[in-house]
Chains A and B, each alone.
Chain A
Amino acid sequence: MASRFWTQGGDSETEEEESDYEQEDNEVPVEDINKAAKSKYLQGSDTESDDEDGQKRVVKSVKDKRFEEMTATIDQMKNAMKINDWVSLQESFDKINKQLEKVMRVNESDRVPNVYIKALVMLEDFLNQALANKEAKKKMSSSNAKALNSMKQKLKKNNKQYEEMINKYRENPEVEEEEDGDDDDEDGEDEDSEFEEDPSKLGMESDAEEDEDKEAGEDDANETGPGWEKMMSKKDKLMDKQFKDPSQITWDTVNKKFKEIVAARGRKGTGRIELVEQLTFLTRVAKTPAQKLEILFSVVSAQFDVNPSLNTHMPINVWKKCVQNLLTILDILTQYTNIVVDDMVEPDENETQKGTDYNGAIRIWGNLVAFLERIDVEFFKSLQVIDPHTREYIERLRDEPTLAVLSQNVQEYLERAGDNKGAAKVALKRVELIYYKPQEVYDAMRKLAEQNEGGEGEADGEPKAVEESRAPPSFVATPEIVPRKSTFPESSRTLMDILVSLIYRSGDERTKARAMLCDIYHHALLDEFSTSRDLLLMSHLQDSIQHMDISTQILFNRAMAQLGLSAFRVGLIAEGHGCLSELYSAGRVKELLAQGVSQSRFHEKTPEQERMERRRQMPYHMHINLELLEAVHLICAMLLEVPNMAANSHDAKRKVISKTFRRLLEVSERQTFTGPPENVRDHVMAATRALRQGDYQKAFDVINSLDIWRLLRNKDSVLEMLRAKIKEEALRTYLFTYSSSYDSLSLDQLAKMFDLSDKQTHSIVSKMMITEELHASWDQPTRCMVFHDVEHTRLQALAFHLTEKLTVLAESNERAQESRIGGGGLENLPLRRRDGQDYAAAAASGGTARWQDLSFSQGRHGTGGGRTGYNAGGRTYSGQAGGFSRDRTGQSRGVGRTYQTGSAARASQMDGSTRMVSLNRGAYA
């Protein structure tokens, strides 16, 4: 109680002293800014009183000044206490500790000034009070609460040293107060132990230990200090000292120290970087390879801890060191094959004591795969964060080969160790590094890797040598056994094949699925549309993708986009449209491909969602060009939709191939004035207008003027293909639109009009006749087509409408009755439709009806999640329900590739009529 009273008293005192100051400035949180002013003010007030005995002040000079500073700080603390500002309190506390040091040095005393003790007591009481008051604690701002907590710990630690004095003070505050004056005069002999307290501020637990270390002598520290690393903290120097004498180092000391450091990991106030440095030092003095390995594992995980945040990436230099460490780990593992890395069993305490000559297996705890995945994630994150238009990004990208080397080595090691699952995981990482690279980029990377070898060898070699000479030689020297340069096969496809077949053999479900998607993507990238389509269809990924994690769904979307592009490049328009239309149906391509955040007008995202989304973004160099994608999609839609609209001009609503395209067209038609095309969309719309009038040349010119075509490798052939397709569709459109105005048309004229060869024209027109899109027939001797007048009159068309409606009515009646009475014996007579319509209807329904907006809000139950959800649900490849299910399991064509998920059972499920992929149906219907 006394103490409590005391604090109160203390408070009131300060209040008196500083009342005017407080009036001036009520906002104490900004104390930092005012600190200087305030201390001046305080000093001023002191000097004011001192003015009378100015002489004396001169005499006192340094000693007093220090003392006064301390008092001033205490006053600040009191202030802070009053307004419950723990942040500034913490600062003041640190400050006072520093001042204490100075005071002591000046006084050359071993006794702590009473003022300091007084402050400590005060602080402690206030702290207890604050902690007791739970409610107030809750109200505190987060930074304040944090400061409070760290204060609690610091104080506890600090007070331990002065426990005796504090207790004395508590018993008898007055006495101490009286003695106050004297303590300046008391000079004690210098004692090291007091200085020792200093490092304790670093917050290390092992103070006691430290003291022992200290005995090795401070002088030594000074000598060795500059010896090897400037960056080392004082602490490390101490360690260095401790392990100075190689003969004294035993496995036990190292182990003890190691345990100690590891125990400190994750504690408040443990410097993350220091931890890494300490551990790195320990690796040098480790006695056995196993121990070195164990410590290295800790180093790596400590390095991972350097960056605590989930959103930012690990500092790049740390990342590089981390990679080096992992390589060293691999070196050791390769050198000593009897060391086994395992994360399943808790190894024996003294496992690492076994030396090199030990014959049996030594088990070390650790998980290389997890490390590698983490490294990869950090690399990925850094690329996400760095601005892609800067040099830094490019520099960062240069580290890719390093990562490739590492993963290659890890994979090789795992394969040797027989951990095929792990190897498959690592192989997946490698696959993910290369799958999006076209051959050119891959070659560039290969060259870079080779250059790196040459260039870096020299650059790296030198500093390393210097460092080596400076540093005490480590006990366990690890030669670089594992190659530091990865070996890339000539073609990216070869590498992919090797990796992917490994994964198919021994990966788990997710790994296999991802590898499959990468494989599909890569095949599509190389213009092997049919192969990648077959892969997709036989893997049945489109059925199960909505149950997978979001990043896999993104990968799926990317693969689909790439597949669409490749279909377009090889001239399969309908297929290309099938692949791409779903990406565009909701207008959220960016989001679906994770290439930027799309803003939704209707829905605000929570910060949480936004963060999540940001974390999923693809790095820039992996992006699929959105303009190109949009152009391809719209052109495909145009080529399909324009003749379709012309064919069904009387009821346009009936068969819509691409809703997106129709909508855009409506918008552009509504414009009263159409300016020259600016963006991709405008271009395609302009082309559409031309195409609808049968002006193929203009349509092609407009599309040709798009500058995205330069992104295509085989630009010329693609444009040539496009030209041919446009001509063809223009011809079809023309015939649909104007056939009713002609009685006959000559083949030559048609061919000339559309700049097609006779043969092509004949083939196109014949196809239309066969599918009954066009009611005409050839008159062979005159090379003319004769139109039959079978176009229904309006009355007839209406009559057909009526019959159709009647049928629907009858059917719904039957259904209603069936559900009422239950199971009528009525066989539902199928609607009779002509073949051609049937195809188109199937294709149309595939595009739209099967589409469901399934959101991914797995685990997140918020209602808000729905809208931002990834639309991977209900996705079927070009909308054919389980259509194509070729039992590809028996694939023996590739490199022993067997994707085993397909089963014979699946093949038997389907019925004969739907076996065909209607990809092709659409194309030729």
Chain B
Amino acid sequence: MANYDLTPRIAPNLDRHLVFPLLEFLQERQLYPDQDILRAKLELLNQTNMVDYAMDIHRAFYHTEDVPQDMVDRRAEVVARLKALEEGASPLVSFLQNENAYQELRAEKQYNLQMLNERYQIGPEQIEALYQYAKFQFECGNYSGAADYLYLYRTLCTNSERSLSALWGKLAAEILMQNWDIALEELNRVKEIIDSKSFSSPLNQVQNRIWLMHWSLFIFFNHDNGRTQIIDLFNQDKYLNAIQTSAPHLLRYLATAFVVNKRRRPQFKDFIKVIQQEQYSYEDPITEFLACVYVKYDFDAAQQKMRECEEVILNDPFLGKRAEEGNFASVPLRDEFLENARLFIFETYCRIHQRIDMGVLAEKLNLNYEEAERWIVNLIRTSKLDAKIDSKTGTVLMEPNQPNVYEQLIDHTKALSGRTSKLVSQLLEHAQTQQAAR
């Protein structure tokens, strides 16, 4: 199943720290040898300041107790640097921690800066130091501290570039702390800035969007309302363009979101076309499933793909999230997906059939006969399906729903009289006003 794993494609678009959860997941799923994952982790950590963690991994990786000298050195260095930065930012930090002083800040940045400068001798250097400190905190894995400081920094920062970086940092920190609600807010803030800001080159803008979408995966598949929002975000033209251009693998998530979301039919049709169009650049069981049902009308293949989809979902770090209930673990998204996928197949299948054998249908739906019958009866009862079951022959009979010719005719002409009378009245009105004017 490793060939459908998207981690290598997603990771480059994430922050270093955001990759850890993915690697953790992979380790758990046992898709790759443990050693590989550990090595990957170690490499990731080498660039961060989370030296302690790196040491742990190193021990696990080499099965030794001692750690190389450079790691120890690095640890000392990191600690020293942290100290230095803390010192640099301390005036501001202490000011900000002081409730009363903090109250003095106002909405206007310029005023704040001036005030800080005059009363507390806090100048641009200190503010800059705060940023560096927060960044260092983040790199050390102290996300909550980083998030706090970055938030404060943003209230004082005047440089818009820096402000954006800080915002990204905050977003990452919130994601890593799994504060989905706050993260979502931050996400929207970043999105606004990206959309409104004029980038030096369109390339940059697209790149930013790609990042944003990748990061947002964490939020959307964990937030309650995420599945609608992911469609809202990804299906915007600009973002869809970016996906098609640089990151077609994101189509998997959009496709999944569409499948589990029943109320998105109009956009869904367009989305099918996108999938078709991108077939040459990206394919995985989920998109293939949609293509089978809605393009090729190949139901056997669709059923086959459905089984593959299950695997893919289970192995995807975002889609395969576990919900633990007591000691019974399930993957809610998988169940939802399968249910909806089944419905998709069934719907399309019914549209082109007049009479269907229940046995075949059950097979197509990956259900046994009884289950299938119950399922169909349920559908009929909730009036989602206009059909009857012929129990004796074991078939489902579709009710023909051909539109009546006369109805159609009436439909066509219904509006005409209204329009004409409206026209006439307008003409009359016009004539009268003209007469009145004379």
Contacts and interface: CB of A to CB of B under 8 A. Distances in A.
A908 interface: yes
Contacts of A204: none
Contacts of B422: 826
Interface string B276-308: 110011000000000000011110100000000
A800 B409 contact: yes
B205 A800 contact: no
A347 interface: no
A807 B414 CA distance: 10
A921 B240 CA distance: 18
Given A788-B402, A821-B430, A778 B353 contact: yes
Contact of B416 (A762, A810, A903, A924): A810
Contact of B423 (A826, A886, A888, A892): A826
B215 to A, nearest CB: 17
B412 interface: yes
Given A792-B405, A888-B245, A903-B202, A924 B276 contact: yes
Nearest to A777: B354
Nearest to A822: B430
Contacts of B348: 770
| Interface size class of chain B, counting residues whose CB lies under 8 Å from the partner chain | 35 or more
Contacts of B241: 885-888, 907
A778 B352 contact: yes
Given A804-B412, A817-B426, A920-B277, A763 B357 contact: no
Interface in B242-273: 242, 244-246, 270, 273
Contacts of B206: 887, 889-890, 904
A832 B412 CA distance: 7
B355 interface: yes
Given A780-B356, A916-B273, A807 B412 contact: yes
A917 interface: yes
A775 B352 contact: no
B48 interface: no
B360 A892 contact: no
B374 interface: no
Contact of A780 (B210, B355, B415): B355
Interface in A744-778: 759, 762-763, 766-767, 769-770, 775, 777-778
A792 B357 CA distance: 31
B353 A821 contact: no
Contacts of A810: 416, 419-420, 423
Nearest to A780: B356
A912 B423 contact: no
B297 A763 contact: yes
Contacts of A794: none
Nearest to A913: B270
Nearest to A903: B202
Given A763-B296, A767-B297, A916-B270, A780 B402 contact: no
B74 interface: no
A826 B351 CA distance: 37
B237 A910 contact: yes
B273 A921 contact: yes
Given A902-B202, A915-B237, 6 more contacts: A762-B297, A770-B348, A778-B352, A807-B416, A810-B423, A916-B270
A813 B422 CA distance: 11
A777 B355 CA distance: 9
Contact of A891 (B246, B273, B416): B246
Interface string B224-243: 00000000000001101110
B398 interface: yes
Nearest to B244: A886
Contacts of A917: 277
A530 interface: yes
A900 B297 CA distance: 40
Interface in B294-334: 295-298, 300
B430 to A, nearest CB: 5
A909 to B, nearest CB: 9
Nearest to A829: B415
A799 interface: yes
B413 interface: yes
Please indicate which of the listed interface residues B241, B270, B273, B277 has the most CB atoms of chain A within 10 Å of its own CB: B241
A893 B246 contact: yes
Contacts of B411: 832
B402 A803 contact: no
Contacts of B416: 803, 806-807, 810
| Interface size class of chain A, counting residues whose CB lies under 8 Å from the partner chain | 35 or more
Nearest to B198: A904
A777 B356 CA distance: 11
A814 interface: yes
Contacts of B7: none
A779 interface: yes
Nearest to B360: A780
Contacts of A924: 276, 295
Interface of B: 199, 201-203, 205-207, 210, 237-238, 240-242, 244-246, 270, 273-274, 276-277, 280-281, 295-298, 300, 348, 351-357, 360, 393, 395, 398, 400, 402, 405, 408-409, 411-413, 415-416, 419-420, 422-423, 426-427, 430
Contacts of A473: none
Contacts of B297: 762-763, 766-767, 770
A58 to B, nearest CB: 98
B411 to A, nearest CB: 7
A803 B242 contact: no
Interface of A: 530, 538, 759, 762-763, 766-767, 769-770, 775, 777-782, 786, 788, 790, 792, 796, 799-800, 803-804, 806-807, 810, 813-814, 817, 821, 824, 826, 829, 832, 885-893, 898, 900, 902-904, 907-908, 910, 912-913, 915-917, 920-921, 924
Contacts of B355: 778-782
A916 B238 CA distance: 13
B345 to A, nearest CB: 12
A746 B124 CA distance: 82
Those 5 A-B pairs whose CB atoms lie nearest each other, nearest first: A890-B206, A766-B297, A887-B241, A889-B202, A803-B412
B185 to A, nearest CB: 24
Given A826-B423, A916-B274, A786 B354 contact: yes
Contacts of A530: 280-281
Given A788-B402, A890-B210, A778 B296 contact: no
B145 to A, nearest CB: 34
Nearest to B413: A803
A891 B245 contact: yes
A824 B298 CA distance: 50
Nearest to A790: B402
A788 B355 CA distance: 14
Contacts of A782: 355
Nearest to A901: B202
B27 to A, nearest CB: 29
B429 to A, nearest CB: 9
Contacts of B244: 886
A800 B406 CA distance: 10
Contacts of A824: 426
Nearest to A792: B405
A903 B201 CA distance: 8
A821 B405 CA distance: 37
Nearest to A888: B245
Contacts of B276: 920, 924
B426 A759 contact: no
B238 A890 contact: no
A850 to B, nearest CB: 21
B210 to A, nearest CB: 7
A766 to B, nearest CB: 4
A824 B245 CA distance: 43
A780 B357 contact: yes
7 contacts: A763-B296, A781-B357, A810-B416, A887-B241, A888-B241, A913-B270, A924-B295
Contacts of B409: 796, 799-800, 803
A121 to B, nearest CB: 78
A813 B423 contact: yes
